[in-house]
Amino acid sequence: MTTTTPTHCPYCSLQCGMRLAPAAGPVPVEVRERADFPVNRGALCGKGQNAAALLAPGTRLTTPLVRAGKAGGRGELRAASWTEALDRVAAGFAGVRERYGADAVGVFGGGGLTNEKAYQLGKFARIALKTATIDYNGRFCMSSAAAAGRIAFGVDRGLPFPLEDVPRTDCLILVGANPAETMPPALRYFRELRENGGTLIVVDPRRTRTAELADLHLQPVPGTDLALALGLLHLLIAERMVDVDFVAERTTGFEDARAAAMAHWPERVERITGVPVARLREAAQHFGRARTGMVLTARGPEQQSKGTDTVGAWINLCLASGKAGRRYSGYGCLTGQGNGQGGREHGQKADQLPGYRSIEDPAARAHVAAVWGVDPDELPRSGRSAYELLDSLGAEGPDGVRALLLMGSNPVVSAPRAGRIAERLRALDLLVVSDLVLSETAQLADVVLPSTQWAEETGTMTNLEGRVLLRRRAVAAPEGVRSDLWVLRELAERLGAKGAGGEGGFDDDPEAVFAELRRASAGGQADYAGISYERIAAEDGVFWPCPAEDHPGTPRLFLDAFATPDGRARFAPVSHRPAAEEPDAEYPMYLTTGRVLAQYQSGAQTRRVAELNSAAPGPFVELHPRLASRLGVADGEQLAVVSRRGRVVAPARISDAIRPDTVFMPFHWSGPGRANTLTNPALDPTSKMPEFKVCAVRIERVGESK
């Protein structure tokens, strides 16, 4: 009988269960179904089914690489020993720190790192490098939803209820999410909702595969989700669908939110959003009259320069109708990256310490410093957010970052205004990238460190439900590949960090690191103190907060009280405002970006899998037939899309699924079709989320220019 290893998919935040079985041939394991895991019940999308392909020889990095000269310079990357590579990194970081100060050395993490790596990376930045300059690509994922959730509820967890509750609600509004392509195994929950007699409302500028399943599809102008939510709240108030008892007993701030909503009457909202009044009324009636209901947001409303306010407005809708803090009701966010939830809970974010503690809170600093064996005064304060950090790379002066450790991210493809970010990376004195493949960002590095990947290491992940899961090692890593935990330990020793490699230092055993994470998170909002590897394995994951080993975990938050000081949820007094960049005579169209089924994030991994690449081989520009006719464009013809930040070229894909005033591009590719060459880095003032989802562009036929 073949022994299989139960584990989880390396891609999205569902963290679908799978089994890995030994296999003959170049790929050492094969993926098999794991029907007993409750989130996906055996179902896997194409990415999960082909996850083992990245283990094939020739696909991934197997030796450290170093470059002669500075990043982007004259020398080629060449193979090196680990000793040479790590010595160069440590000497480079120490030299930059001595010349420019500790904050001139930056750290940029990733939402795909395990909890253990995310925790250790934050600790490494703060006590080995002593820098405040750390953030991660999860800032680009759901930071607006996180900020709005903390304001309204006192705590941020992607979903405050398990996915199994979704089919049991009476009405669900899905805003700016396309799970049919981004997390296909989750689609069964929405289908089951409709089979149970519930109503599914989808809000999206495109008629996506998900929108085609909806009972009602609202197709607003990009960047107007805030006005849409305010208009629906206006109708709930005007038509007496507010749950006045719930508002009085469990919330504060309704009157200010009410005043803002009443300024967004249906006809005004139709002019702003393009959604007809009749459809607004239909949506409001479905949601307002339903006994239970949910609103789930994703990147559509969140990746805006007003994303926090936008999510706050959708939360207001839940609160006013009494659809929060009750069974089968509430607001949730569909987290994107595999560990987008856990990755921000334990120290990768510029302003947070493990357990969701604020780095500015004296009590939080004292608690974590005690676990780390340092003086609280030695810990840095808040640093810069992700885009602000990347934009400061290589800059002269006191605020410039001169060296960067980048772990598990590919901002050359994924960051807004990506052309400028590539320039800033080239301007660094030292760029160090730890990754499993030679991504576009790694190609610019001075030192590249080959890291183990999901099937070659053990560690925990926290999925979108707040369920802490265990990924198990199934195969040995190739000779020459090391874990990120080992790399951080070796660098900490070279940099002379306190306790490096010993008690209170930088252990490279993941279970030992998790045990330390449990102590560091104890008493925090994201409390993992009662979670162990043994419990996770026995219980199909454990929901945080779980403060003690005899605590059952918390699948459902807020049923008794919200996590605010007085236990009440807060309404957000928000009003609509335009996007940071609206179309004009020179740039008359909206651009919105997103994903396709076969690719994932920056494509660094999926573009190396033949089956996935054949299904989605390259970028495209989706445009409406009316726009195509006006431009004289044929399907498949090369088009240029131009914004104030750059120009990209990709083939046309003509579809009536898009609004006539909008074009869509997926963002998985580099090169001439890199969508993020165009996107606007305008930041939300609270979450520091860039405005990926809307900017102004013009369309040109290739060979023409304005």
Mean pLDDT over the full length of the chain: 95
697, with CB counted inside 10 A (0-12, 13-18, 19+), is buried
The per-residue pLDDT for 503 is: 59
Contact criterion met (CB below 8 Å) for 572 and 312:
yes
Long-range pairs, 636-640, Cβ under 8 A, ≥24: 637/701, 637/702, 638/701, 638/702, 639/699, 639/700, 639/701, 639/702, 640/699, 640/700, 640/701, 640/702, 640/704
Answer for the pair 450, 143: CB distance below 8 angstroms, yes or no: no
pLDDT of residue 59: 85
Of 328, 261, 316, 259, give the one whose Cα is nearest residue 291: 328
Q: How confident is the model at residue 69 (pLDDT cuts 50, 70, 90)?
A: low
- Average pLDDT of the segment spanning 659-681: 97
Q: How many CB atoms lie within 10 A of CB 373?
A: 12
Q: Kindly list the structural domains of the chain, giving each domain's residue range(s) and its CATH number in brackets, ordered by start.
A: 65-140+338-508 (3.40.50.740), 143-334 (3.40.228.10), 589-701 (2.40.40.20)
Work out the angle between the directed axes of helices 307-320 and 143-153 (0-180°, nearest 10).
Answer: 40
The reply to whether omega before 416 is within 30° of 0 (cis) is no
Contact 582, 221 (CB under 8 A): no
Radius of gyration of the chain (CA): 24
**Phi, psi dihedral angles at 426 (to 5 degrees):** -65, -25
The reported pLDDT for the residue numbered 502 is 59
> Does residue 425 have a pLDDT over 70?
yes
- Residue 1's pLDDT is what? 47
- Which pLDDT score, from 0 to 100, does residue 504 have? 64
Question: Would you state the pLDDT for residue 398?
Answer: 85
Over residues 243-264, the mean pLDDT reads 98
Q: How confident is the model at residue 71 (pLDDT cuts 50, 70, 90)?
A: very low
Predicted TM-score (pTM) of the model is 0.96
In whole angstroms, what is the distance from residue 383 CA to residue 394 CA?
A: 17
The pLDDT-based confidence of 75 (bands split at 50, 70, 90) is: confident
* Share of residues in the chain with pLDDT > 90 (%): 93
Tokens of 233: 């709240």
Digit-coded pLDDT (tens) for 476-511: 999 999 999 999 999 999 999 977 665 568 999 999
pLDDT at 32 exceeding the cut of 60: yes
Confidence of residue 68 (pLDDT cuts 50, 70, 90): confident
Q: What is the dihedral of CA 608, 430, 91, 500, to 10 degrees?
A: -60
